[in-house]
Chains A and B, each alone.
Chain A
Amino acid sequence: MAMSAAEKTELAPIPGHVPLERVYDFDYIYDARLLENPHERMKSLHKEAPPLFYSPRYGGHWVVTGKEELRQVACDPELFTSVTRGIPAMAEQPVLIPLTFDPPRHTQYRAPLNAKFTAKGVAPLEGAVRAMAAGLIDAVAAQGYCEFMNDVAEPLPPTLFFNIAGMPTDRLKEFRQLAEDATAAPDPCVRMTSIKKIAAILKETVDARMAEPRDDLISEMVTKDFGGQRLTPDEILNYAVLLFLGGLETVVNALCFTARYLALHPALQAELRADPTRIPLVMEEMLRLHGIAMAVRRATRDTELDGVAIQKDDMFMLMVPAVNYDPVAFENAESMCPGRKEALATFNMGPHRCIGANLARLEMRVFFEEWLKRIPEFRLDQARPPKFFGGLNLAVRSLNLVWG
């Protein structure tokens, strides 16, 4: 379903309550500069537009790029709800547990799984992540080049998810292919079909754990109390698909953007090879400089934000990857400063703040510890420059690296 040029360029009329100085035309999916270099475009938003601006694209919506503005929206779910039809508005409002719920129901869905995702909760996975990473890297090391996205980054999260969810490994290969289609297929219909097939495979494990729980994430979802009741099979399946997808595209792209940054900064590669203990703090900055996921909210009533009148049902795009470059919130926001004190926005804020943050950090650190150990100085393949996607995730379409 390719969008026509007319659909791409359609501009909604500016509503009367939006001050003209807050209007800035930004197409979060097809903006040409975004597709050229996604995070450079995020930086530019702070130079060209206010921290809360209104784009006439996709029916018209606010865009939040300031950290304080993000905090105010994301931390007030009563005023800015997650119950939305999206941007642009879909015919039906999707139900994704716990993403499209507000507290208190959101909290009931989420709290029982928190313990599995604390730093201590994910620590036992380190050995498995390291073994997976080493295997993927060894498979390309001798050839002197790779398409990092497909060859190396993409298989890691699905393999890890199989481990956490306790799924039988005989379906892993098929699952990986579906995950790749769900992430990278240009055709949204192919993506949707892949997600449905992923759900079908997950359902087998959900059914098996309902009959006989074990020590894994799906079993926790089957046996735990969620706000005084058990989840229904449909709820478990819906939730499991979201947990899988939530940790898929985000981690894959964080790995890709970081590999690209390192490819462009050979001195940093050398520094980290010489002293791997610097990797965790550098990875924290990689996560800040390369935020991936956005979020959508809707105003539940007339209000005011950043001194601007907001009307009930106004839509908000929380441009989290741009928030990380907010010059008000971050000193030398564009510079890589390992150990900086300001907290990154990559995992969003408020009750929906990413449950997988500790797992993402673990994957990033362990992957690059192994990568830098096994691959000599690497660089971008000049003949095949990287390609990118816009949309709700800033994404890498392909990343060709060479070494040796």
Chain B
Amino acid sequence: MTRIIYIQHDGREDPVDLPVGYTLMQGAVLNDIPGIAAECGGAAACGTCRVQLAPDWVTHVPAAEEIELSILDDADTSWRLSCQITVMAEMDGMVVHLPENQT
């Protein structure tokens, strides 16, 4: 299991242990962590599962592919679609921040 720490916009922390191979979006939805709408269910079609990786962790995550970049508005590479990030063992302890809303 890999520990991922989701931090809500209001500062609340939700640490969860996820099996390798899950996406950060699935990890949040399956554990009832609010702040991720994931309206398209992981198709990189809606942009409602945005998260911001904590600065130390940005380089631990493979860079976004073209379809993800087409949905992301931000030039800041710490903002990602959580449905496009698959949990790997080396992400243990990773901190991701959730935005105030997904619209």
Contact = CB atoms under 8 A, between A and B. Distances in A.
B41 to A, nearest CB: 3
Contacts of A284: 103
Given A284-B103, A341-B34, A343-B48, A74 B41 contact: yes
Contact of B73 (A121, A355, A357): A121
Contacts of A119: 47, 73
Contacts of B72: 118
A75 B103 contact: no
Interface string B33-68: 010010111111111100000000000000000110
Contact of B40 (A76, A118, A351): A351
B71 A114 contact: yes
Interface in A113-146: 114-115, 118-121
| Secondary structure class of chain B's binding surface, majority of residues | loop
A160 to B, nearest CB: 20
B67 A107 contact: yes
Interface string B14-40: 000000000000000000001001011
Q: Name the interface size band of chain A.
A: 20 to 34
B77 interface: no
A355 B67 CA distance: 14
Contacts of A107: 43-45, 67
A357 to B, nearest CB: 7
B70 A112 contact: yes
Q: Which of B34, B67, B73, B103 has the most CB of A within 10 A?
A: B103
Nearest to A119: B73
A294 to B, nearest CB: 16
A226 to B, nearest CB: 12
A76 B103 CA distance: 23
A361 B103 contact: yes
B78 interface: no
A353 B67 CA distance: 15
A266 interface: no
Nearest to B35: A341
Contact of B66 (A103, A111, A357): A111
A338 to B, nearest CB: 12
Contacts of A352: 45
A343 B40 contact: no
A114 B70 contact: yes
A341 B40 CA distance: 17
B43 A350 contact: yes
A93 B44 CA distance: 27
B71 A343 contact: no
Nearest to A361: B103
Contacts of A110: 45
B2 interface: no
Q: Which of B43, B44, B102 has the most CB of A within 10 A?
A: B43
A244 interface: no
A349 interface: yes
B37 A343 contact: yes
B40 A75 contact: yes
Nearest to B75: A120
Contacts of A355: 45
A347 interface: yes
A400 to B, nearest CB: 32
Contact of A111 (B42, B46, B70, B73): B70
27 contacts: A71-B41, A75-B41, A75-B43, A103-B43, A107-B43, A107-B44, A110-B45, A111-B66, A111-B67, A111-B70, A114-B45, A114-B71, A115-B71, A118-B47, A118-B72, A119-B47, A120-B73, A341-B34, A343-B48, A348-B39, A349-B40, A351-B40, A351-B43, A353-B45, A353-B46, A355-B45, A361-B103
Interface of A: 71, 74-76, 103, 107, 110-112, 114-115, 118-121, 284, 341, 343, 347-353, 355, 357, 361
Closest 10 CB pairs of A and B: A75-B41, A343-B37, A351-B43, A114-B70, A120-B73, A353-B40, A353-B46, A111-B67, A118-B73, A115-B70
Given A121-B73, A341-B34, A343-B39, 16 more contacts: A75-B41, A75-B43, A107-B44, A107-B45, A107-B67, A114-B70, A118-B71, A118-B72, A120-B73, A349-B39, A349-B40, A350-B43, A351-B43, A353-B40, A353-B43, A357-B46
Interface of B: 34, 37, 39-48, 66-67, 70-73, 102-103
